[in-house]
Structure 1
Amino acid sequence: MSESLTNLVSRLEGSARQGEFSRLRRGLEKEGLRVDPEGRIAQSLHPRSLGSKLTHPHITTDYSEALLEYITPVTCRAVDAMAFLGDLHRFSYRYLGDELIWPASMPARLDGNDSIPIADYGVSNVGTMKRVYRQGLDVRYGRIMQSIAGVHYNVSLPDDLWTLLRDLEGVEDTPLNDYRSQRYFGLIRNFRRHSWLLLYLFGASPAIDRSFLPDGNIPDKLEPHGEETLVSRYATSLRMSDLGYQNKVQEQLKICFNSLSNYVNTLRHAISTPWPAYEALGVNANGDWHQLNANILQIENEYYSDIRPKRVARHDETPSQALEARGVEYIEVRCLDLNPLLTLGVDETQIHFIDTFVMWCLLSESPWIPDAECDTLDDNRQLVVERGRDPELRLNHAGNARSVADWGGEILDEMRGVAELLDALEEGTPHADAVAAMAPRLDDPALTPSGQLLARLQENGEEFSDAILSIAREQAEQLRHEPIDPGRERLFEELIETSHQQQTQIEGADRVAFADFLNDYFERARESRVTAGAGQ
């Protein structure tokens, strides 16, 4: 452990024993495609009996009508988040008939672009905007890229802990919002430097069905396995490769998260700057909307990144305006694959590890990232995504070539001290245990989820889609027969009709045409909301 980190951890031990580190707040967003009994993406509408996907706080859809998204409440305990997520699955299976929830990040067998139905959120202006945004993603990138699923992990620290860190740093005169935002951006920079470790440890997408590449152009990094499967021998996460969520137009934005103002201004520039190729696609042809606008980004959500600073926005704010006005509230980790070998795609051990990793990123020194280092970070990330289990792979660490096992082992060694802070008031040592559980994966790449999944395909001679379909059936059988917490069951039942009523009220309250609504939205989106104490 570096001397500065060792000293800081030592100074925090007393506060940890008083419970300062036991109140991290976390929430999960987990996606999963609905598929038919044969493993093809479902063409059915989102079940009405699951509530309105526009207004339901816990069950919605992402890009596609078939892409379920589950959202847990914010909780201080990993076990509570996982219990809620599990009950969302169990409840849904009551209303899915013979459909299944696809447990892998890379999609089931597809039948071209049009086999992926775009989600429909009703006739309100808000619902129409959500649909047109998705149509814009279709014309820009195609729907196939949008059929990929993953887990997003949201985490925040309590205000008391920020106050403690500010006092230890000796900058008590800095407004708390400013200090919190600055430190969150330091966390994000360190995350960017080391997110390759999460991709290695938790990446679970080394294979795809051939239908994911309908044009038949197979990249050199992929090789055939059976008749319908393509694999990448050493890949960890094809979802995070150039086959997945990538946008070469966005690469020019060069966001390295050095400050809140830089981040916000870069996004604001992107949502207000036309892009010739998108202009050529057209926006609105006599009321037939192809996209929200022809700018680099239609809205801020279109920006793809491994991690984002977040703040819950008010009804009249964009995400960036909320950040400007009141600073960073939490961070969203976005680089996590679904692990099809886990019933819910994620487990408590992974949550405890990510908590420890995020806190290590926060407490470690984090200088600004110059452009040259930004490029190096992107290169390291890409190398691990495509070749992370290759024993010959070397990453660039401050100009030195290092193996994943060597550098990763050093990070885990430093994380152990942070895990002790998080475990101070826990029953047992779940964070330290989670760090210890990951160490063997560094020594043996076959123990990683990507290694395990690829081994199953190779040992059994299975096609990717057949193997995942078999897993989906096993998980569905398990979840259908497990009990639901009675309190959560009552909540989910109540939210069915309540959410539909809320959608009806929203639709009835509209007073302006969609074009006017959209013009007003983007006019407000261009406004700065900088206020004192917003963490510039």
Structure 2
Amino acid sequence: MFHLSESLTALLKQLREPAQQGRLGRLERGIEKEGLRVDADARVAQSPHAKGLGSKLTHPYITTDYSEALLEFVTPVFSTPEEALDFLTELHRFTYRQIGDESIWPASMPARLNGNDSVPIADYGSSNSGRMKHVYRKGLDLRYGRIMQSIAGVHYNVSLPDSFWDRLYEIDGRNDLSMQDYRSARYFDLIRNFRRHSWLLLYLFGASPALDTSFLPSGCVPEGLERHGKHTLISRYATSLRMSDLGYQNKVQAQIKICFNSLSNFVNTLRHATTAAWPAYAAKGVQVDGDWRQLNASILQIENEYYSDIRPKRVTRRGETPSQALECGGVEYIEVRCLDLDPFDVRGINATRCRFVDMFVAWCLLSESPWISDQECEHLDDNRRLVVNRGRDPELRLEHNGHKRSIADWGGDIFAEMKEVAALLDIEEQGSPHQNALAELAPLLDNPELTPSGKYLEKLLENNSEFSDLAYAEARRQAEQLASQPSNSSRQAEFAALVERSEQQQKDIEAADTQGFDEFMQDYFMRANKSCATVIRETGGRQ
């Protein structure tokens, strides 16, 4: 019989009174949502980023990820999911008014492709910073190919308010740590528990059980996939092919064994990966006949190249790398990176998912979180791999503390503990939105066909549809829905003003460049390879 964790129960009890007094505050979140532009034939658009969207180098809310066609929408930080989602809706509405008859692809797996070169690499202009972003993407193409970079998802950035941290710090009595070090240590507690249980998010929110055959070499049908129609491959039990070996993958990165047990371990391992040369990359060349093929020959060109389902983050200052920012200022928030796009919601995510991720993150933080051994790390990787490929298989069993458990059984225990966390978070809310979200998702544990991946596969099978036809029809439906609804005129005016402002900012950056690109890159890596302590010693403070 399942029993709630005594330590979690005791901690929640200590947090309940300050929450009732309004002294804990709400979690804060920002959303980054990717989506390919596609043409009327459901193919990746070959057109440049629309001029009416402004500069993708400097626009704060509308940019591109890897490809010129891969839009990325970025919201500010909001204290409620609804505010973030409203902002995201207006970004989509504004964008549709600028891209003519093109559509925003609603699925995580890409539209119809015509080989590697059909995914155009994003161009960020002539400035040194813009060229660096472009060369970095050329390096990704050289190492992994462009097709893998055409996959899209949602990144969910979440943090706890200062008032919450103050109360936790007081309860834990960690006077041996500064508040900055305490926050970082506790965020890494959260991250370790997240990695232990992220399979649950993959099961609940995975929405990519199918793909267009053009994603793979002609005639290739990997094990676990089967043909459906002329141009579609499906996996009967998969939840998220995006997160499988068919999607984001980097066998070289597996060599570096990124450690999430502490901030120092994480930073040092990541820094090693950006400085240690990899022979196969060196053989491809960095500069050949004056042409930059990649930024360097290291395991990672820069830290952003590291793929993971969660990252500790801090807003960087000018000239800082992500690791330097973490070392100097500590962890500020975490970025959840394992969420597929919801293909039936124009925003790619809805309020129920946001609330669930908020609860899940809080539960990961408040639960006990011992360090992860190498052996446990292998089990965690195996669990994630099983769920993305076979998550809806009723015979599937996951490894948990030496026992084999079904998703329904283990997930039910997690939901029971999260229910107590939901009650705590709802004290700050009107009504019970967190508990309602939990109740809405609970039936998915016992019925895999209710999951997004199950529903998507059902639509493909019942209508005998091709993957790309179904996704394109949904894209057009979403465009029409946006056009038929009233817009927020003040938001739309704000976005319009940012177009000209961002273009001018890019021109100013380009005009201010005085270094050649080779010298710029040499200076960049000279700074980037230094630790925070070295930067402070040389400059007299964090710059």
What are the within-5 Å matches in structure 2 for residues 159-238 of structure 1?
159-238=162-241
Match of 1:490 in 2: 493
Letter in 2 for 1:252: Q
Which residue of structure 1 lines up, in the alignment, with residue 328 of structure 2? 325
- 1:127: which partner in 2? 130
Tell me the equivalent position of 1:25. Answer: 28
**Alignment map for 1:37-116 (pairs within 5 Å):** 37-116=40-119
Which residue among 507, 510, 514 is the counterpart of 1:507? 510
1:377 aligns with 2:377: no
Matching residue's letter, 2:413: E
CA contact (8 A) 2:29 2:78 kept: yes
Q: CA deviation at 1:288?
A: 0.8
Deviations 1:129-160 (A, max 9, x none): 00000000001000000000000000011122
Matching of residue 154 in structure 1 with residue 162 in structure 2: no
Q: Hey, what's the Cα distance between the residues in 2 that align with 1:457 and 1:358?
A: 33
How far 1:17 moved relative to its partner? 1.4
- Judge conservation of contact 2:56–2:64 (CA < 8 Å) in 1: yes
* Structure 2 residues without counterparts, runs of 5 or longer: none
Change (3 A) 1:489 1:367: same
Aligned equivalents of 1:118 and 1:213: distance in 2? 19
- 1:250 aligned residue: 253
- Contact persistence 1:104–1:339 (CA under 8 A): yes
* Contact preservation (8 Å) 1:236, 1:384: yes
Counterpart secondary structure, 2:532: coil
Equivalent pair of 1:103/1:471 in contact (CA under 8 Å): yes
* Number of residues of Structure 1 aligned to a counterpart in Structure 2: 533
SS, match of residue 268 in structure 1: helix
Runs of 4+ deviating beyond 3 Å: none
1:15-36 Cα deviation digits (max 9, x unpaired): 1112344421100000000000
Q: Distance in 2 between matches of 1:470 and 1:21?
A: 44
Task: Give yes or no for contact 1:21–1:422 (8 Å, CA) kept in 2.
Answer: no
Q: 1:334 aligns with which of 333, 337, 353?
A: 337
Distance in 2 between the 1:254 and 1:464 partners? 36
| Structure 2 counterpart of 1:125, one-letter code | N
Answer whether contact 1:321 1:529 (CA < 8 A) is retained.
yes
Range with greater deviation from structure 2 (330-339 or 166-175): 166-175
1:144 aligns with 2:147: yes
For residues 265-305 of structure 1, the C-alpha deviation after alignment (integer angstroms, 9 at most, x for no partner) is 01110000110110111111132111000110000000000
The match for 2:446 is 443
Are the aligned partners of 1:205 and 1:450 in contact in 2 as well (CA < 8 Å)? yes
8 A Cα contact 1:90 1:482, kept in partner:
no
The separation in 2 between residues aligned to 1:405 and 1:23, in whole angstroms, is 30
Give distance in 1, aligned partners of 2:430 and 2:168.
25
Counterpart Cα distance in 1 of 2:414 and 2:478: 34
Contact preservation (8 Å) 2:311, 2:335: yes
Name the CA distance, whole Å, in 2 between partners of 1:154 and 1:413: 25
> Residue 189 of structure 1 contacts residue 368 of structure 1 at CA under 8 Å; is this kept in 2?
yes
Give the drift of 1:161.
1.3
Superposition map of 1:267-416 within 5 A:
267-416=270-419
Residue 269 of structure 2 corresponds to 266
User: Secondary structure at 1:64's aligned position in 2?
Assistant: coil
CA drift of 1:467 comes to 0.6
- 1:439-487 Cα offsets, whole Å, 9 max, x none, are 1000100000000000000111001001111111100111122222122
Displacement, 1:498?
Answer: 0.1
Task: Report if aligned partners of 1:100, 1:476 keep a CA contact under 8 Å in 2.
Answer: yes
Most deviating of 96-105 and 215-224: 215-224
* Conserved? CA contact 2:259–2:269, under 8 Å: no
Q: How far apart, in 1, do the equivalents of 2:248 and 2:424 lie?
A: 35
2:158 match: secondary structure: strand
Deviation per CA, 1:44-99: give whole Å up to 9, x if none: 00001101000000000000000000000001011100000000000111111100
User: Would you say 1:423 and 2:426 are equivalent positions?
Assistant: yes
Question: Could you tell me how far apart the structure 1 residues matched to 2:394 and 2:205 are?
Answer: 17
Q: What is the CA deviation profile of residues 203-244 of structure 1, one whole-angstrom value per residue up to 9, with x for unaligned ones? A: 000000000002433211111011110001100000000011
Task: Determine the C-alpha separation between the residues in 1 that align with 2:478 and 2:389.
Answer: 29
Moved more, 53-62 or 206-215: 206-215
Superposed CA RMSD: 1.2
| Alpha-carbon distance, 1:345 to partner | 1.1
Residue type of the alignment partner of 2:22: G
Which residue type is aligned with residue 88 of structure 2? L
| Matches of 1:20 and 1:135, distance apart in 2 | 49
User: Which AA in structure 1 matches 2:297?
Assistant: A
Return the offset for 1:173. 4.1
Distance, in Å, in 2 between the alignment partners of 1:108 and 1:226 is 16
Instruction: State the secondary structure of the residue aligned to 2:381.
Output: helix
State TM-score, norm by structure 2: 0.97
Matches of 2:53 and 2:413 in 1, distance apart?
Answer: 46
Whether the aligned pair in 2 keeps the contact of 1:256 and 1:374 (CA below 8 Å) is: no
Unaligned runs of 5+ in 1: none
Deviates further, 57-66 or 286-295: 286-295
SS in structure 2 at match of 1:419: helix
Whole-angstrom CA distance in 2 between matches of 1:449 and 1:514 = 46
Does the 8 Å CA contact 1:27/1:71 hold for their aligned counterparts?
yes
Task: Give 1:117 shift.
Answer: 0.3
Is the contact between residue 25 and residue 164 of structure 2 (CA under 8 Å) also seen in structure 1?
no
Identity of aligned residues (%): 66
Q: Is the 8 A contact 1:341 1:449 kept in 2?
A: no
Alignment of 1:497-536 (within 5 A): 497-530=500-533
